[in-house]
Amino acid sequence: MAALAIRDTDVGRVLALSGRLDANTIRDVWRDARRALAESSGRPVVVDAAAVDYCDGAGIALIVDLLRIGRREKRDVEVANLKPAFVALLNQFDVGVLDHDLDPEPKRRPAVEEIGAITAGVWHDIREQVEFVGETVAALGYAVRHPSTVRWRDVWVICERVGADALPIVALISFLLGVILAFQSAIPMKKFGAEIFVADLIGLAMLRELGPLMTAILLAGRSGAAFAAEIGTMKVNQEVDALTTMGLDPVRFLVTTRVIAALLMTPLLTLFADLVSLLGGALTLQSFSIPFITFVHEVEGIVDFSDFMAGFVKSFIFAILIAGIGCLRGLQTSAGASSVGDAATRAVVSGIILLVVVDGVFAVVYFFLDI
């Protein structure tokens, strides 16, 4: 155990340390030594280490701390009788260097500067997005003109991950959406004897709006985040740099394949989601004495081809948004594990915001085109 004895002599105060000085034993000794030094009324202080048996880095830190306080307060503090092995350890440190932090955290910027920096950051991000859209469109155009340059093997693998692997979650959410929508609307409609029109509501709402939107939001959370994390990790591991120095365009290599896969899979998943949600609605309405065939006839009567296409066309645009924003956030990853997490988060957040905004734009356009 470590111990501290305090003696006052004619020439000053002696702090006699003894025993084993390590991180587990010195907590109280350290506190007492600091207090004894503070209470020595400016007299010279000698730290006597003659009885110190063992002194590791924490013990040396205690001695350095006492010397540092002496230096800071312009006091006469010295160490005596420290064993040569420990002196060698003590001599590794410059008390002057440790007296102040050489790398302090930067001060916070004034509010105006902070607002300016954030605005500049947003502007920079918009510019990057526009540039990225241009690069992606150019790469897709090149892929259309030269299909053999597309890495189709990668495309199929990504298709499986984006499409087939997403079927269970898309089925579950769509089915529940159909069930919930049917229940929530059928209960009030029943008061007016109008439960049959629930089929109309589900048919129109799912095919025009909710089917494509919910599928896209699911994919943004699932595949958009995966694209960002995957490409972000490649960026951190310098795999993207390796592609560049090999003369291969990262956009063509990484982005085109993912955008094509998303373009192929998202509309199919949307179709699947539409059908499953209608099935959920139909099953729910059976409990309201509406037979399955009646439900089908009602939906056929209200939903025409333009309603179906209104939702289906959106799914292509949503696919480009999800894949594009996921890849962009991945390519924007800086360094370190946390930045990969940030990239995935930003991919999901900005992906969902863009989906909702674009869906709103579609609603306005369809209104004016009377679709």
Positions touching another protein (CB under 8 A) are 20, 22-24, 26-27, 30-31, 54, 56-58, 60-62, 64-65, 68, 85-86, 88-89, 92-94, 97-98, 101-105, 334-339
In angstroms, the CA 270 to CA 312 distance is 7
Which segments of 22-76 are extended strands (E)? 45-55
Rg (CA), the chain: 35
Q: Single out the residue of 42, 85, 347 nearest to residue 223, CA to CA.
A: 347
**Residue 252 or residue 346: which is nearer to another protein going by CB?**
346
Query: Residue 312 and residue 318: Cα distance in Å, rounded?
Result: 10
Residue holding tokens 């920096």? 117
Euclidean distance between CA atoms 64 and 68, whole angstroms: 6
- Shorter beta-carbon distance to another protein: residue 102 or 111: 102
Residues in contact with 155: Cβ distance below 8 Å, sequence separation at least 6, in sequence order? 257, 260, 261, 264
Q: Is 367 helix (H, G, I), strand (E, B) or coil?
A: helix
Q: Are 219 and 162 in contact (CB under 8 A)?
A: yes
The least CB distance from residue 31 to another protein, in Å, is 7
Beta carbon nearer to another protein, 171 or 228: 228
Q: How far is the CB of 185 from another protein (least distance, A)?
A: 47
In whole angstroms, the minimum distance from the beta carbon of 164 to another protein comes to 28
Cβ at position 206, least distance to another protein in Å: 42
Specify the residue, 115 or 242, whose C-beta has the smaller distance to another protein: 242
Contact partners, residue 221, CB within 8 Å, separation at least 6: 348, 352
Torsion angle, alpha carbons of 208, 319, 219, 128, to 10: -130
Taking the least distance from each CB to another protein, the nearer of 93 and 308 is 93
Q: Where in the chain does DSSP place strands (E)?
A: 3-8, 13-21, 45-55, 77-80
Q: How far is the CB of 328 from another protein (least distance, A)?
A: 20
Min. distance of Cβ 115 from another protein in angstroms? 24
Kindly state the smallest distance separating residue 339's Cβ from another protein, in Å: 7
Residue whose CB is less far from another protein, 83 or 151: 83
**Closest distance between another protein and the C-beta of residue 297, in Å?**
59
User: What is the bridge-based pairing of β-strands 13-21 and 45-55?
Assistant: parallel
State the greatest distance between any 2 C-alpha atoms of the chain, in Å, as a whole number. Answer: 108
Nearest partner of 280 among 171, 198, 178, 172, judged by Cα:
178
- d(CA 187, CA 157) in angstroms, rounded, equals 45
Angle between helices 256-286 and 197-204 (to 10 degrees): 170
Give 119 or 334: the residue with its C-beta nearer to another protein.
Answer: 334
Choice between 84 and 247, CB closer to another protein:
84
Nearer to another protein by C-beta: 92 or 245? 92
Report residue 72 as tokens.
């800071």
Rounded least distance, CB 24 to another protein, Å: 7
* Residue type present at position 209: E
**Residue 34 or 151 having the CB closest to another protein:** 34
Least distance between another protein and beta carbon 49 (Å)? 14
CA angle 185/188/193 to nearest 5° reads: 105
